[in-house]
Amino acid sequence: MDSQLSGGFLKHTLSSPMTFKPYSFQLPNGLDIIHHDVGVLEVSPENANRAIVISSGIHGDETAPIELVDDLVSEILNGAWVPQSRTLFIIAHPDAIHAHTRFIEENLNRLFADVNADRNAECQLANHLQEHVRRFFVNTKDNDEKWHFDMHSAIRDSKHYMFAVVPASTKTTDVRPLIGFLKSAQMDAMLLSRTPSSTFSWWSGENFGALAATFEMGRVAPLYQNDMSEFAPLKQALINFLCDCENVEAAIEHDLSIYKVTRTITKTDDAFSLAFSGDAANFTYFKEGEQLAEENGTLYVAQKGGEAAVFPNANVAVGQRACLLVTPFVPDESKPLFVNVGSEPGPIAIS
C-alpha cells in the first residue's frame, strides 16, 4: 500500500500535509489509485462501465458515512475485494470534522447550484468538489452509467431510520435502478423530490444525468462512536454494486416505502416558526388542516389527506428549506420513473 495511506484514508484526510500534491500508484491486483486531493481518491479498474461517486463528510458531524467510506477504501487498498467500477471516494470537509460541527460558516450542502464567490472556506470547498466530480464524469465513456451516493446522517429521530432523497432534475434519467439498490441495501424509504435543491447529489444529477441520491444514515454521533453494524447491509450492497454482483434476492425481499414531495416550505423571514416541536421525528404525520408553521401571519397547514414532515428546521438561514412535506407514493415499476423539476414523479419525462 502507498505509504501516505498506510494509516488509512480518513487519517490522511484529517492530518494531511499543507503542501499536498496529487499522485497515483497501482495495486498488485492492477487497480489504479489516484489521490487527487485531500479527501478525494479515485479507484480505477480496467474496462469499467460505471462511474460512481461515493461522498461523505459534507457535514462534519455526520460521521457514520465518513467511517463507512474509510472502511471501503481501506479494504480496497488491502486487496480484500476488487471493484469493477471507476469510483471517486470523497471525505469532504475535514475542518468541520475536526471542529465536530455541521459546518464552519455556511451549510456546504446548499452551495452546489453553481460556482460560488470565494466568500468563505465552504464556498471554496464546494467549488473544488464540483470540479473534481466534473472531471471524473467528463472522463467517462459515452455509454457508462453515472451514479452519485452522497451519504449523510440525520440530526433527529426518524420513522425511517435509513432513507434516501432522490433530487429532482431536468434530465430524463430513469431512477428505477435506485429502487433495486436501496432494497438490496435494506434502506427503509425513498423520497422523490420536485424542486431543485442545490445539494451535492442534485448537482451530479442535474449536470451529468447521474442516478443520484442523498442517503440519510441513522443519527449523528461522535467519530468512532457509531454502531457500524447498523449499516452493514448498506456496506455490503455498495461492495456488491462496485464489484458488479448485486444482491438480487435481497432487493426482491426487502420492503421499501416510497414517498413524493408535495411541498417545500422555505423560510423567507426570521419570524418563521414551526407549529410543532423542533425535535419532531422525520416523517411525523399531520392530519389534514393541522397547523405546520407560521410566518408573519401566513399559516401553513397540512393539505387534503394529510402530510408528513421531513427535515423540519426553523433555524435554517433565510431563503433555505425549512421543511419538506411528503405523502406515500406507489410507482408502476414496469414503466420508467422520472423525477423532474416541477412535475409529478412518473413515467412522463420533461421534454
| pLDDT 10s digits, 324-346 | 999 999 999 999 999 999 899 99
Give the 3-state secondary structure of residue 264.
Answer: strand
| pLDDT 10s digits, 260-273 | 999 999 999 999 99
The interaxial angle of helices 176-184 and 232-242, nearest 10 deg, is 130
Position 342, amino acid: G
**Rounded to whole angstroms, what are the CA distances from 67 to 53, 76, 346?**
16, 14, 35
Asked whether residue 62 is marked as a ligand-binding residue, the answer is yes
Q: Which residues contact 65 (CB under 8 A, 6 or more apart)?
A: 56, 57, 151, 152, 153, 215, 217
Catalytic residue among 216, 288, 294, 295: 216
- The whole model's pTM is what? 0.95
Asked whether residue 100 is marked as a ligand-binding residue, the answer is no
Within 13 Å, how many C-alpha atoms sit on residue 211's CB side? Answer: 17
Using pLDDT thresholds of 50, 70 and 90, give the confidence band for residue 8: very high
The predicted pLDDT at position 252 comes to: 59
* Domain boundaries defined on the chain: 3-253, 265-327
Pick the CATH number of 265-327 from 3.40.50.150, 2.60.40.3080, 3.40.50.300, 2.40.50.630: 2.40.50.630
Using pLDDT thresholds of 50, 70 and 90, give the confidence band for residue 141: confident
Q: Which residues of 286-314 are buried (b: 16+ CB within 10 A; e: fewer)?
A: beeeeebbebeeeebebeeeebbbbbbeb
Mean pLDDT of 163-185: 96
Residue 216 annotated to the active site: yes
The DSSP bridge partners found for residue 295 are 298
Using pLDDT thresholds of 50, 70 and 90, give the confidence band for residue 251: low
- String of DSSP letters for 128-161: HHHHHHHHHHHTS-TT-EEEEEEEEEESS-BSSS
The CATH code for residues 3-253 is 3.40.630.10
Least confident piece of the model among 83-97, 187-201, 250-264: 250-264
Least confident piece of the model among 6-20, 71-85, 240-254: 240-254
